Amino acid sequence: QQPVQSPQAVILREGEDAVINCSSSKALYSVHWYRQKHGEAPIFLMILLKGGEQKGHDKISASFNEKKQQSSLYLTASQLSYSGTYFCGTENWLRTGTASKLTFGTGTRLQVTL
């Protein structure tokens, strides 16, 4: 089940903040966040597991709301280097008690300008 990302695209000025959301229609086991620059490979940002945890990496952090079945990625004081497409990937709980395979959303295109 493909997660839904919003917004699809966002343009920021350097120094501004942004939030990217990732929602699933099924119970989440984990959420993975990646960033991909044009013509390059996706780069890992972070993984969040069930339990409502929050993680941070420099000025990029994420939360995982198990109850709402969603995750949000927070970019604070954006830099030009943050430009790219952000993907969330989700693993859902299956009836067997195991996790489904990782499925990525269609991405959020972020552009940071001067």
Partner 1 sequence: DARVTQTPRHKVTEMGQEVTMRCQPILGHNTVFWYRQTMMQGLELLAYFRNRAPLDDSGMPKDRFSAEMPDATLATLKIQPSEPRDSAVYFCASGLGGTAHTEAFFGQGTRLTVV
Closest CA to 18 of 73, 56, 75, 70: 75
94 binding partner 1? (CB under 8 A): no
Structure tokens given for 100: 């489904």
8 binding partner 1? (CB under 8 A): no
Q: How many residues does the chain have?
A: 114
49 binding partner 1? (CB under 8 A): yes
Residue of the chain from 27, 77, 94, 102 that contacts partner 1 (CB under 8 A): 102
Closest CA to 55 of 81, 86, 32, 23: 32
Candidate segments 18-26, 28-36, 61-69, 73-81, binder of partner 1 by CB under 8 A: 28-36
29 binding partner 1? (CB under 8 A): yes
Instruction: Output the smallest distance, CB 17 to partner 1, in A.
Output: 25
**Full DSSP string of 26-92:** S-EEEEEEEEE-TTS--EEEEEEETTT-EEEETTEEEEEETTTTEEEEEE-S--GGG-EEEEEEEEE
47 binding partner 1? (CB under 8 A): yes
Residue of the chain from 44, 59, 68, 77 that contacts partner 1 (CB under 8 A): 44
Chain residues in the site for partner 1 (CB under 8 A): 2, 29-30, 32, 40-44, 47, 49, 87, 89, 91, 99, 101-107
